[in-house]
Amino acid sequence: MHALTDTLNRPSRDELAPYHVFDEAEWSRLRADQPMTLDQDEIFALQGFNDYIDPGQVETIYLPLSRLLSLYVEATGALHNATYKFLGRDGPQTPYIIGIAGSVAVGKTTTARLLQALIARWPTRPKVDLITTDGFLYPNAKLLEEGMMERKGFPESYDVAALIAFLADIKAGVRRVEAPVYSHLTYDRVPGKTIVVDQPDILIVEGLNVLQTQRLSGERPRVPFVSDFFDFSIYIDADEESLEHWYLTRFFRLKESRFTDPRSYFHKYAHISDEEARTFARGLWTRINLKNLRENVGPTKLRADLILHKSEDHRISQVALRRV
């Protein structure tokens, strides 16, 4: 493997000591015979809003990752069988859960969708479901009542108990487990609407703080962390300057599209000047998203099994896999 240099755009050598570190060319060779099962149109359809994926990187980055996950799922199945053999009983295999964490605007949605599509086309044709933790944010009415709208996205703004109960039911093999649905148009939970997860083989859970470990005040010591339910975790990383640029670019794209809908939470900002919009968006980034990144999201990076580092052009330039 190549010598890792200390740059502003990549984690340092010391920081990644517990990891095997690869550049794109090195990682791509680990694809082996993993087949390409998505065409270019399908890849572009899976892109998140204001994210970009080079179809070539699906082959060089995501196919090796898909192969790695298939090996890990297979090994977990063997461990399951060994455990039940030891216990002298039979039992269904529990769903394999993959957690995806990272900052606002880093591209978690695109990664989650790509992995869901690639995994679903493995020869075994596993059932793969995807949820985001946005649905477990407290409703805006509660956040407003408790003065937490400026803390939306911070750990305390989530109904962690409900999220943990959801994951516990998934791991227990409960049928038709429901998760709340979040609307990015209204910037709130959708009352009465849920997504049903029914005994998947693999569940992908995407969210800002899914690798969080800090105990919240008043929380009972024996309450598990969300990440305790993960079999594999991924952190998508980028430098702060790139993240701010992507966030501002996304805000302006939303201003010209989604914000124009009268139902949008941000409708009143659809017709302000570009200068006003830039000032407002930069304020949101600095007060809320950057603060959350530095205090809560970023410090969880080294808890991940895999770190994908993105450059300013959205390309993944470095892959770090935890040593086992």
Helix, strand or coil, per DSSP, at residue 301: helix
Q: For residue 324, what pLDDT is reported?
A: 86
Q: For residue 92, what pLDDT is reported?
A: 83
d(CA 57, CA 16): 23
Of 174, 242, 171, nearest in space to 202 by CA: 171
- Residues 6 or more apart in contact with residue 231 via CB below 8 angstroms: 72, 73, 76, 96, 97, 98
313, amino acid identity: D
d(CA 175, CA 317): 40
Is 94-317 a domain of CATH 3.30.565.10?
no
Q: For residue 223, what pLDDT is reported?
A: 67
What are the residue ranges spanned by the domains of the chain? 94-317
Residue matched to tokens 């605007």: 105
Tell me the mean pLDDT per 10 residues along the chain, length 324. Answer: 42 73 96 91 90 93 97 95 91 93 96 97 96 97 95 95 96 95 95 96 96 64 82 98 96 94 94 95 96 96 96 95 93
Q: For residue 214, what pLDDT is reported?
A: 61
d(CA 314, CA 58): 13
Q: For residue 91, what pLDDT is reported?
A: 80
Is 241 within 8 Å of 166 (Cβ atoms)? no
Q: For residue 150, what pLDDT is reported?
A: 93
Cα 269 to chain centroid distance, Å, stands at 28
Which of 212-221's residues contact partners 24+ apart within 8 Å by CB, and which partners?
Answer: 212/155, 212/296, 212/300, 213/300, 213/303, 214/155, 214/296, 216/155, 216/156, 216/160, 219/160
